[in-house]
């Protein structure tokens, strides 16, 4: 019995490792989450881009071209909204997804 257990343990470890790798591959990247959740409004020429161009100038209109965005600011804006941007709930964008999007925008 014990021998059998010892023999199956490595197999179990390999099986768990494969599942882990698969899960990591399936998690969408920050870039693709950004495309899905934010680009509908933040694409060139879209509402958010036009509003930001008005408020902050053309150079700061596209989020992907910014290098002055702080991760805390992005999270705060997404969770509480800003002017005409409605907040996004944890149901729409989970905390992990928001972290991935924030990393994409700040790196
Ligand atoms: C339904 C449309 C919409 C969606 C979806 C949306 N936004 Fe926005 N966002 C806006 C609008 C409009 C503004 C400009 C508000 C203003 O300044 O008047 C804005 C502004 C922002 C700002 C403020 C920039 C600054 O310098 O003040 C950040 C940061 C931002 N959005 C991040 C995001 C992120 C990240 C996502 C995706 C998770 C997202 N937004 C999704 C509409 C949207």
Ligand 1, atom nearest to 73 Cα: 29
Q: How far is the CA of 25 from the centre of ligand 1 (A)?
A: 28
Spatial neighbors of 77 by CB under 8 A, at least 6 apart, are 85
- CB distance 105 to 65 below 8 Å: no
* CA 31 to chain CA centroid, nearest Å: 7
**pLDDT score recorded for residue 21:** 64
The CATH architecture that domain 29-106 belongs to is: Orthogonal Bundle (1.10)
Residue 82's beta-bridge partner residues?
A: 85
C-beta atoms surrounding 91 within 10 Å: 6
Q: How many residues does the structure list for the chain?
A: 107
Residue 79 in tokens? 């969770």
Q: Which residues line ligand 1 (CB under 6 A)?
A: 37-38, 40-42, 47-48, 51-52, 55-56, 63, 69, 74, 77-78, 82-85, 88, 93, 101
Q: Which H or E run includes 29? A: none
Whole-prediction pTM value?
A: 0.83
- Is 100 exposed, middle or buried, given 0-12, 13-18 or 19+ CB atoms closer than 10 A? buried
- 33-57 per-position pLDDT tens digit: 999 999 999 999 999 999 999 999 9
- pLDDT given for residue 23 in this prediction: 62
Contact 87, 79 (CB under 8 A): yes
Q: Where are the domains of the chain?
A: 29-106
SS3 call for 20: helix
Q: Which residue owns the Cα nearest ligand 1 atom 3?
A: 41
Spans of the chain below 70 pLDDT: 1, 12, 16-26
């Amino acid at each position: 019995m014990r021998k059998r257990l010892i023999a199956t343990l490595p197999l179990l470890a390999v099986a768990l490792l494969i599942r882990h790798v698969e899960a990591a591959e399936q998690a969408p990247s920050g870039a693709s989450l950004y495309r899905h959740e934010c680009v509908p409004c933040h694409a060139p020429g879209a509402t958010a881009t036009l509003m930001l161009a008005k408020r902050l100038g053309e150079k700061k209109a596209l989020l992907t071209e910014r290098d002055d965005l702080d991760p805390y600011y992005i999270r705060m804006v997404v969770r509480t909204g800003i002017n005409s941007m409605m907040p996004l709930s944890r149901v729409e964008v989970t905390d992990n997804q928001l972290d991935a999007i924030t990393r994409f925008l700040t790196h």
